[in-house]
Amino acid sequence: MFKYILSVFLILSVVMPLTKVYALDDKEGSINSLQLTGPVTDKEIIQDSSNRLTTPDIWGVALGYRIAEIPYTDKEQTVSDIVPLLYYEKGRFFWRGIEAGYQFYQDKQQNISAIGRYRFYDIPARYQNKTRGNAYDFGVRYRRYITDTINIDLELLNDRHGRNNYNIGSSYTYNQGAWYLKPYVNFRWKNSKFNNYYYGLGVDNPGADYDISIGTNARYHLYKNLFLLGRASITFFGSKTYKTSVVDTPNQTEIFIGFGFFNDKTKKTPRYLKSKPYIRIAYGEATPANIGDILQFDRQSDIYQNKMTSFFFGVPVSDTLFDADIPVYFSGGYVWHHSSTVQASTQEYVIAFKGYYTFKTSPKIRIGLAEGLSYVNRITYIEQQEMDEKGYRASNLLNYLDFSIDVDLGSVFNSSAWENVWLGYGIHHRSGIFETSSAFGRIKGGSNYTSFYLQYHW
């Protein structure tokens, strides 16, 4: 049944573009990732005389469910994941789902990019917390545009241990009405070190080999900023790989379905934004309470008083969401976790999208919600304690949420000098999405910090 659904999806992705060719200058796309992007817009990065920022080329935040066949010999046949995805492109920088990079050379016919990509390692879920087989590949991609809708990619990649894989692929873009489809084909060559590790599992040594993948990325516009996302692919292994004792299939299939928020493609994207960028500084303390308790004002104190200081910036990507006055920001943050009697100091890095809704009160009050990713270079004490209690191996990378409420000091003091300065209270949350994601180590729980902050928009 799984392969039947996949086959129907792939056939439709090829047949639909043939009904009408639609020329699109699509200078982005990935041959081997969840490349599901919003509509293409003006790509200039300038500010006008009023210092208003231009809109980004692409922005979006999505969440989906991925299910893939397990290619290894095991009683479990499939493994699934909840996958959060972020999208942001402006100028030469791009973040596209599970891929990010920078174009250091480009012209009308080609570009060269430094890229990093998350790669799923589809072992049974019961092993994923301890094994942590998922990997990050880094390298260089050369892209050549054959037409406005067809491109060819050449990639040289390796993981952090120097296991290499090389890709040659091509994709075609179809953008018509509510549909955006991107069928692709990819040939991957894996060196012996890569193939022995990921497909020999330390049991066999199949040596260097290849695989061929065909698939489709899709997006369907449902309503205003809401889109349905999909992906389907099948990978055919070379004979050296599937004839090992640990691989029991000549091919592997994958399906992804989800939803996301992007620019409303039925409306012309404004060139300039009214919303202003911001910086935020916060100081807070860890708490063993969960989010539900904190939101019900039942916050517990950390007996070791572990503290953090954070610095965030926000760049507006949209003035509205679903036509409501909800500005959306692409946000990045640096968090310093202070040393204490139970932990050394550690650093945390955050990337997220955050939206705000302002109540029409006096003084002005607003609430905010952010979704993103958080990485710490050393697990904090408050988080490690919870992982030890639940028997998990902690994960440096986790899902990130931010809840906030703040008040505009300009309206409090009725002073233009304090205009656009906000005083607020926030919840800084890291978690593994209830054991549903291999990217986060199949854990449940995480850590919470509450903080007070000042935020300035200019």
At residue 214 the predicted structure's pLDDT band, cuts being 50, 70 and 90, is: very high
DSSP string, 385-427: HHHHHHTPPP-SEEEEEEEEEEEEHHHHHT-GGGTTEEEEEEE
Q: In whole angstroms, give the CA distance from residue 80 to residue 65.
A: 7
Whether 267 is covered by a domain: the verdict is: no
Q: Is the pLDDT of residue 280 over 50?
A: yes
Per-residue confidence (pLDDT) for residue 134, from 0 to 100: 66
CATH of the domain at 22: 2.40.230
- Shared domain for 237 and 335, answered yes or no, is no
- Shared domain for 43 and 159, answered yes or no, is yes
At residue 133 the predicted structure's pLDDT band, cuts being 50, 70 and 90, is: low
Whether 270 is covered by a domain: the verdict is: no
- Shared domain for 327 and 249, answered yes or no, is no
Please name the residues in contact with 104: beta carbons below 8 A apart, sequence gap of 6 or more.
92, 112, 113, 114
Please name the residues in contact with 120: beta carbons below 8 A apart, sequence gap of 6 or more.
66, 68, 81, 134, 438
Rounded to an integer, the average pLDDT of 369-374 is 97
- If one counts the domains in the chain, the total is 2
Q: Is the pLDDT of residue 365 over 50?
A: yes
Q: Is the pLDDT of residue 227 over 70?
A: yes
CATH of the domain at 394: 2.40.160.20
- Shared domain for 252 and 340, answered yes or no, is no
Please name the residues in contact with 221: beta carbons below 8 A apart, sequence gap of 6 or more.
178, 179, 227, 265, 266
- Which uninterrupted H or E stretch holds 7? helix 2-19
Per-residue confidence (pLDDT) for residue 285, from 0 to 100: 96
Per-residue confidence (pLDDT) for residue 167, from 0 to 100: 98
Count of residues in the chain:
458
- The predicted model scores a pTM of 0.86
Name the residue range of residue 54's domain: 2-262
Q: In whole angstroms, give the CA distance from residue 397 to residue 348.
A: 10
